[in-house]
Amino acid sequence: MKIVVGLGNYGDKYAYTFHNMGFLTVECLADKLGLKFNKKECDALIAVGYRGGEKIILAKPWTYMNLSGVAVKQLMRKYKAQPSDLVVIFDDIDIPKASVRVRMKGSAGTHNGMRNIIAEIGTQDFARVRVGIGPRPERVPLVDYVLAEVPKAERQIFFDAFSVAADEAIKLIDGETTDGKTVQ
Residue 111 bears catalytic tag: no
Residue 137, class by beta-carbon neighbours within 10 Å (0-12 exposed, 13-18 middle, 19+ buried)?
A: exposed
Q: Which is the catalytic residue, given 19, 73, 101, 130?
A: 19
CA 130 to chain centre: 7
User: How far is residue 140's CA from residue 117's CA, in Å, rounded to a whole number?
Assistant: 26
User: How far is residue 161's CA from residue 167's CA, in Å, rounded to a whole number?
Assistant: 10
The 3-class SS string of 84-146 reads HHEEEEEEEEEEECCCEEEECCCCCCCCHHHHHHHHHHCCCCCEEEEEEEECCCCCCCHHHHH
User: How far is residue 126's CA from residue 149's CA, in Å, rounded to a whole number?
Assistant: 29
Q: Active-site positions?
A: 19
